[in-house]
A and B are shown apart, each in its own frame.
Chain A
C-alpha cells in the first residue's frame, strides 16, 4: 500500500500545490488533501488555536484536524524564506512547532526548513531532506524534483497568462454568466490563501465575476516588473509578500486599463497592516482610482461583504456613466 502524505488545503497550498503533488507522487506516495474549507474547518481551527492568531492560521489548524487521522505523514514545511534576502511571515517559520505543541495525536510531520534567504541553492538541500522521509534513493528524489518543477512552471505560466490559481487547483470551468455591462478590470491584492479560498473570502471572486469584472492579482505580474518597481523604495521590504504586493500595485497604478483596486486583508495580519498602509498611501498620492480595503476575520458577515462589493462596483460604473454626461452645473 502506498504511503499517504497529507497536505492541508491552506496557506502555501495555493502557491505550491502542483509542485508538491508531482514531487510526492513521483516518489510513489499517495497525496491526500484535506477537504475544502467549511464552517466546520474554521470551528475546529478556532478551538485548537490561540485566539490571537490570524484567520488563515486558524483555518490551517482546521485543515490539520481534518486530515491528521487519515495519513501517514503530514507535510508542514517550515517556511522561513522563499526568496533571496526576504522572509515570509514569522508564523510560517514557527508553524510546525505551533501545530506540534497544540494538536495531539499527530502523524509524523515532514517539517523540513525551507530557507532561501541566503541562497537559492538551499532548495536542493531541503528537497533531499523531504525526499529522505520517503525513500533512500537520491537520484529518484532529484528526478521527482525535476518533474515537480516542470508542473510548477506550467502552473505558474497559466497564472501569468491571467488564470486564477483557484481555477486551476479546483478545476473549475468558467461558466459564470457574463453581465450585460462592459467588463471591468479589478485588481485584487492579498495573500493567496485569502484570495483563492472561497470560504475565507465569502465567494468574493465569483461574486466579482458575476458582476462582470475580470480579476487581476499580483500573482499574474511578472517577477521582473515587480523587482523593478520595488527597487525605487528607500529601504527594501523584507517580506516576500510585501515586495510582491507593493511592486504589483505600483504596476497596476501605471497601467491604464485597471478600473479599481481591492485590498483583501485578514484581521490581525502583521504584514498586511504595514503593506496595506504603504500601498494605500502610494495610491492616494499618485492616482484618482477607486480603492477599497476589505478585512476578513472569523466574525465577518456575508451581508456586509456583499454590500461593500456591490457599492464598490456600482460606484465605478457610475463614475464612467457620469463621465460621459455633461455636468448639469456647467
Chain B
C-alpha cells in the first residue's frame, strides 16, 4: 500500500507528519501545477468546483510515481466536498487508475470507526500510540499555521523585498525531505527564527486586508495565485481565519474529540445569515464583520466558480459592505482564470484602498486645522 493525498495548501505537511509517525509508505504528489489542473479538468465533470479538479490532478500525478491508495477527508454535506471521495473513486476507476480510497471521517461521530481507519493505515500500532500521533499531527498543523501567520506579519514590513518569500519557499522545499513530526516541528522552529531575524521596519503601519471565502482556494497558494505573497509584497498585512489546523480539527477531529471552537464569527454573522448552511459561508460573513469592526482597510473574498455556499455569502456581502462601510472584492477562480486579469484587479483594489486611506487622513488633518 503506497498512500498519497491532496496538497491543499500546507495540508500535505500535516498529513506527511501523520504518515511518517505511523510508519506508512507514501508518495507526495508533485506540487500543484498547470499540468495537475489540466489532468483534473480533463477527467472531472465540467461544472465541478476547482478543488476537485486539482485533487484529481494530484492523485493522477502521484499514481504515476507509484501511489495506489488515496487518503482523504470526508464530510456530511451539504457542501460538495463531502462527496469528493466518491467522485474521485468513480472517476479514477473509469479512467483506468486502479486506486483505493481511504476516507478519514467519523460517520455520525463514531470514534471507533475513525480510529479503525487510522489503524488500517498504521497496522500494528496500539490505540495510545495512535492518539499520540493524532495529537502530534494537530500540533504540526498548528505550528505551520503560526509560521504562515508570522510570514503575513513580516512580509509587508521587511526592508529587503522578497526575503520572507525566499525563506518561506525554502521551508516548503525542505519540509518534504525531513521525516516525522518532531523533525518537521524543528524545521518550523528554525524557519520561524530565520524570519524573526529579518530586518524589518518597525514603525511601518501596513494596510490590513482580510481574506475570506472558500477554504481550499483561500489557503492553497497555487489556486489563489499566491495572493498572500502578492499582497504582502505590496506592503499589505494579510489576515485569514481559514487555516489547515482549523480545518483538520473541524473536519476530522471535531466529531471525535470535543474541541471548543471560536464561534465569534457565527454571532457576528447572525443578523445576515442566521444558520450554518455548509461550507464556509457563515465564516465568510462573520469574519468580514469582525474584520470591519477592528478597522481593516478591505476584504477579499475568494471562491471557486459554482461554489454553492459562497454564492450565498456573495449575495449577502454587499449589505455588510454598506452597513460597515468597508470595501469588498470578490475573486472567483476556475481553470480559465487568467493571471494578468486577476493581478490587475488586486492592484486596482489596493490602489483604491490607498486612496481611501489618504482621503481619511486629509479629512483628519483638516479637522485638526479647524480646531
Contact among A85, A86, A94, A278 with B312 in the assembled complex (CB-CB below 8 Å)? A94
Contacts of B305 in A (CB 8 A): 52, 268
Contact of B311 among A91, A271, A273 (CB under 8 A): A91
Contact B315 A93 (CB under 8 A): no
Contact of A97 among B85, B274, B332 (CB under 8 A): B274
**Chain B residues near A89 (CB, 8 Å)?**
78, 308
Stretch of A20-28, A122-130, A152-160, A232-240 on the interface side: A232-240
Q: How large is the interface on A (under 10, 10 to 19, 20 to 34, 35 or more residues)?
A: 35 or more
Q: Check B281 for interface membership: any CB of A closer than 8 A.
A: yes
Residue in contact with B315 in the complex, picked from A80, A101, A276, CB distance below 8 Å? A101
Asked if A113 is at the interface of the complex by the 8 Å CB criterion, the answer is yes
Q: Is A102 an interface residue (CB 8 A)?
A: yes
Q: Indicate whether B273 reaches chain A with its CB closer than 8 angstroms.
A: yes
Of all chain B residues, the one with the shortest Cβ separation from A53 is: B311
Residue A269 lies at the interface, judged by CB distance under 8 Å to chain B: yes
> Cβ of B277: which chain A residues have Cβ within 8 Å of it?
80, 90, 93-94
> Which residues from 63 to 88 on chain B have a C-beta closer than 8 Å to any C-beta of chain A?
74, 76-80, 82-83, 85-87
**Stretch from B45-53, B112-120, B151-159, B200-208 that touches the partner:** B45-53
Is the CB–CB distance between B315 and A268 below 8 Å? no
A52–B306 CA distance with the chains assembled, in angstroms: 7
Which residues of B, 192-231, contact A by the 8 Å Cβ criterion?
none
| One of A102, A234, A235, A238 near B78 (C-beta < 8 A) | A238
How far apart are the CA atoms of A89 and B307 in the complex, in Å?
11
The CA of A234 and the CA of B88, in the complex, are separated in Å by: 13
Find chain A residues with CB under 8 A from B332 CB: 52
Contacts A113-B275, A273-B45 given; does A235 touch B83 at CB 8 Å: yes
The chain B residue with its CB closest to the CB of A48 is B315
**Per-residue B-contact encoding for A213-253, CB less than 8 Å = 1, 0 else:** 00000000000000000000111011100000000000000
Per-residue interface assignment for chain B, residues 272 to 301, with 1 indicating a CB less than 8 Å from any chain A CB and 0 otherwise? 111101110100000000000000000000
List, in ascending order, chain B residues with CB within 8 A of A93's CB.
78, 275, 277-278, 312
Q: Which of B31-50 contact A (CB under 8 A)?
A: 45-49
Q: How far is the CA of A53 from the CA of B307 in the complex (A)?
A: 9
Contact A281 B316 (CB under 8 A): no
Count chain B residues whose beta carbon lies closer than 8 angstroms to a beta carbon of A: 43
A270 at the interface (CB under 8 A from B): yes
**B232 sits at the interface (CB 8 A):** no
Question: A268 contacts which chain B residues (CB < 8 A)?
Answer: 47, 305-306
Is B127 part of the contact surface with A, judged by Cβ < 8 Å? no
Do residues B308 and A270 form an inter-chain contact, with CB atoms below 8 A?
yes
Mark out the residues of chain A between 264 and 285 whose CB falls within 8 Å of any chain B CB in the assembled complex: 267-274, 276-278, 281, 285
- Judge whether B74 and A88 touch: CB under 8 Å: no
Contact B46 A102 (CB under 8 A): no
Contact B80 A97 (CB under 8 A): no
Q: Which of A51-85 contact B (CB under 8 A)?
A: 52-53, 78, 80, 85
How many residue-residue contacts, CB under 8 A, span A and B? 123
Partner of A277, one of B48, B316, B318: B48
Q: Please give, as numbers and ranges, the residues of chain A lying within 8 Å of B308 by CB-CB distance.
A: 89-91, 270-271
Is there contact, CB below 8 Å, between B315 and A90? no
The verdict on A87 contacting chain B, using a C-beta distance below 8 Å, is yes
Q: Which residues of B contact A267 (CB under 8 A)?
A: 47
Q: A161: shortest Cβ distance to chain B, in Å?
A: 31
Partner of A94, one of B74, B77, B316: B316
Contacts of B74 in A (CB 8 A): 235
- Assess the B83–A237 pair: CB atoms within 8 A: yes
Contacting residues, chain A, for B86 (C-beta < 8 A)? 233-235, 278
Q: Are B312 and A90 in contact (CB under 8 A)?
A: yes
Complex: how many Å from CA A281 to CA B92?
12
At the interface, yes or no: A33 with Cβ under 8 Å from chain B? no
Query: Distance in Å from the Cβ of B314 to the closest Cβ of chain A?
Result: 5
* Chain A CB within 8 A of B110 CB: no
A281 cross-chain contacts in B, Cβ below 8 A = 90, 94
A50 lies within 8 A of chain B by Cβ: yes
CB <8 Å contact, A270 and B306: yes
> Which B84-106 residues sit within 8 Å CB-CB of chain A?
85-87, 89-91, 94, 103
A299 to B9 alpha-carbon distance, docked (Å)? 36
Closest to B46 in A: A273
**Contact (Cβ within 8 A) A273 B312:** no
Tell me, yes or no, whether A141 is within 8 Å of chain B by CB.
no
Task: Assess the A273–B273 pair: CB atoms within 8 A.
Answer: no
The 8 A CB mask of B305-330 against A (1 = contact, 0 = none) is: 11111011111101100000000000
- Known contacts A80-B275, A93-B277, then 6 further A-B pairs from the complex at CB < 8 Å, ordered by chain A residue: A90-B78, A93-B278, A98-B315, A102-B319, A267-B47, A268-B306
In the complex, 24 of the A-B residue pairs with CB atoms within 8 angstroms, ordered by the A residue number, are A50-B314, A52-B311, A53-B311, A85-B76, A89-B308, A90-B78, A93-B277, A94-B309, A94-B312, A94-B313, A94-B316, A101-B319, A102-B318, A234-B89, A235-B74, A238-B78, A238-B83, A268-B47, A270-B47, A270-B49, A271-B308, A272-B47, A273-B46, A277-B91
Q: B-contacting residues of A (Cβ < 8 Å)?
A: 49-50, 52-53, 78, 80, 85-91, 93-94, 97-98, 101-102, 113, 233-235, 237-239, 267-274, 276-278, 281, 285
